[in-house]
Structure 1
Amino acid sequence: MRNDKVLNLLGLAYKAGKTVCGAAAAEQHLRKQAAYILLLAEDCGANNEEKYLRLSTQKDINVIRRYTKEQLGQALGRAQTAVVVLTDKGFADAMSKAVQAMD
Structure 2
Amino acid sequence: MKMNKGLSSLGMAMRAGKLITGDEIVLKAVRKGEAQLVIIAGDASPNTKKKFRDKCNTYGVQLAEAFDRDQLGKAIGKPERVVLAVTDAKFGKMIAGHLSQNSEVDNIEQTTGQQQGQ
TM-score w.r.t. length of structure 2: 0.80
Cα 1:55/1:62, change in 2 over 3 Å: same
Is the deviation greater in 70-79 or in 92-101? 92-101
Alignment of 1:68-79 (within 5 A): 68-79=68-79
Aligned to 2:14: 14
Question: Which has a greater percent of helix?
Answer: 1
Aligned to 2:58: 58
Larger radius of gyration: 2
C-alpha distance in 1, partners of 2:70/2:87?
21
C-alpha distance in 2, partners of 1:61/1:96?
12
Aligned to 1:81: 81
Tell me the alpha carbon deviations over residues 70-101 of structure 1, each in whole angstroms, 9 at most, x when there is no partner.
11001111120101000001111111221232
Amino acid corresponding to residue 100 of structure 1 in structure 2: S
Task: Indicate the RMSD between aligned Cα atoms, in angstroms.
Answer: 1.4
Aligned to 1:35: 35
Contact 2:33–2:59, Cα closer than 8 Å, also in 1 = no
Percent identity between matched residues is 25
SS at match of 2:17: coil
Does 2:85 match 1:90?
no
TM-score w.r.t. length of structure 1: 0.91
Amino acid corresponding to residue 77 of structure 1 in structure 2: G
Contact 1:74–1:80, Cα closer than 8 Å, also in 2 = yes
Segments of structure 1 that go 5 or more residues without pairing to the other structure are: none
C-alpha distance in 2, partners of 1:102/1:63?
15
Amino acid corresponding to residue 74 of structure 1 in structure 2: K
- Greater than 4 Å deviation, 4+ residue runs: none
Segments of structure 2 that go 5 or more residues without pairing to the other structure are: 104-118
